[in-house]
Amino acid sequence: MSGKQGKYKGVKGHNQRQGMGRLRRANTSDPGRVGGYERHDEDAEIFDRLGSLARASHGGESLLAKFNRLAGIPEQAGGERGEICGFAGTLTLVRAAAGAEVPCSVRQVLKKRVKGVKNPLCVGDLVTFERAADGSGVIDAVAPRRNQLERADSHNRSLIHVFASNIDALVVVSSLHEPDIKLGLIDRYLLIAAANRIPACLVINKSDLGDPSFALTLYRGIGIPCFATIATGTGDSGPDLAALREHLHGKACVIAGQSGVGKSSLVNTLFPGTGARVGVVADAGHGRHTTTSSRSYLMPDGARLIDTPGVRECSITGLVPLDVSLLYPDIAAFHQACHFKDCTHLHEPECAVRTAVEDGRIADTRYDSYCSIILEDLVM
């Protein structure tokens, strides 16, 4: 076997998510194949044991793998190369190599290749396009994605909404108040980032409305880079804004979080002149959806900053309970000490995770969000 090929399923091909398969195998005790039945009596214990075994389930091909298999750019593809940076009505905006944005349509054959998604293309996709005489273009093909950020569509749960791809960092933005901080939503974003192998960081905005130390201490304790800001869009503000700007230097970043927390204001504060439209928080404390679609901004240092629409809920798709427990770093630290290797940490006896929660070694809010995801988002 060549050095470029791995012996583990999932380490090669269109969707190289080698972490999940190896984590699952290392933390489950599936029975091995049994042979030599002729050496056993009909009433032997082995037949009773084998009668209760169920075939292991398989999640099948992921949406990312399917996309990469069906929508890859062939080596001989002509045309210009560019990156999708936004949408304007029915047109797709493509940033060409020189930095100019070209409004493009998408060939129907490309739209029909991938089903089960709200839009076959998203911000961050690398494409080839042909220019027309009037300055517009037509997208002919799209390159395989390194990763993608997705959620179930809010109106049709059978559709997946992919809103960014080829991401270097997921910047989760929350506010202390107006609207109030939602730790459960933060945990969901961090889980999605971990599942898609996207490094994440947390920004606590509007830190002048209270003391953000409790949130900063909680998430720094599990290895998440955290920053406190007071983004108003008028200039540098907040104790950690310079450190945040340095952290994002040269990276392709997604700005995500609850509506009204100041995502667009943060973009304007970090990089003045980007043109992100700033909304107003409603009196009831719920943010309005002021960013109507994902938008990518090219920064002077070469960074790509993506502002996404505010979402009221973020669904977890394609994961099983064992995946979630292993992707929560504070829960994964105690998972191996549980009596059962496939422990869900909900009701099993001798659960080291629940003991750690009772002892204060795992934060109650983290365990509550874990339970919420297991019971409400996953099909068990």
* pLDDT tens string 4-43: 444 444 545 555 555 566 666 566 554 444 445 445 444 4
Phi (first) and psi of residue 191, to 5 degrees: -65, -45
Question: Quick one: pLDDT band at residue 116, thresholds 50, 70, 90?
Answer: low
Question: Quick one: pLDDT band at residue 163, thresholds 50, 70, 90?
Answer: confident
- In this prediction, residue 107 carries a pLDDT of 86
Question: Quick one: pLDDT band at residue 309, thresholds 50, 70, 90?
Answer: low
Mean pLDDT of the 145-165 span = 77
Question: Quick one: pLDDT band at residue 95, thresholds 50, 70, 90?
Answer: very high
Question: Quick one: pLDDT band at residue 212, thresholds 50, 70, 90?
Answer: very high
* Measured distance between the N- and C-terminal CA atoms of the chain, rounded to whole angstroms: 38
pTM exceeds 0.85 = no
Phi (first) and psi of residue 58, to 5 degrees: -135, 130
Amino acid at 299: M
Which residue carries 């502002």 as its tokens? 307
Q: Which residue has the higher pLDDT, 375 or 57?
A: 375
Question: Quick one: pLDDT band at residue 281, thresholds 50, 70, 90?
Answer: very low
Q: Which of 56-65, 254-263, 289-298 has the highest mean pLDDT?
A: 254-263
Q: Is 171 left (phi over 0), alpha (psi -120 to 50) or beta?
A: beta
Question: Quick one: pLDDT band at residue 300, thresholds 50, 70, 90?
Answer: confident
Which residue carries 């739209």 as its tokens? 111
> What is the per-residue pLDDT across 43-89, written as a single tens digit (0 to 9) for each?
444 444 444 333 333 445 677 777 777 766 665 567 899 999 999 88
Average pLDDT score, the chain = 77
- In this prediction, residue 23 carries a pLDDT of 61
Question: Quick one: pLDDT band at residue 227, thresholds 50, 70, 90?
Answer: very high
Q: Which region among 1-5, 205-209, 308-312, 338-342 has the lowest average model confidence (pLDDT)?
A: 1-5
Mean pLDDT of the 346-360 span = 95
- In this prediction, residue 268 carries a pLDDT of 80
List of domains in the chain: 63-142 (2.40.50.140), 167-307 (3.40.50.300), 321-377 (1.10.40.50)
Alpha carbon 380 to chain centroid, angstroms? 21
Distance CA 329, CA 194 (A): 10
Distance CA 9, CA 17 (A): 9
Q: Which residue has the higher pLDDT, 273 or 46?
A: 273
- In this prediction, residue 46 carries a pLDDT of 44
49: Cβ contacts below 8 Å, ≥ 6 apart: 31
Q: How far is CA 71 from CA 79, 118, 131, in A?
A: 16, 15, 20
Q: Which residue has the higher pLDDT, 353 or 278?
A: 353
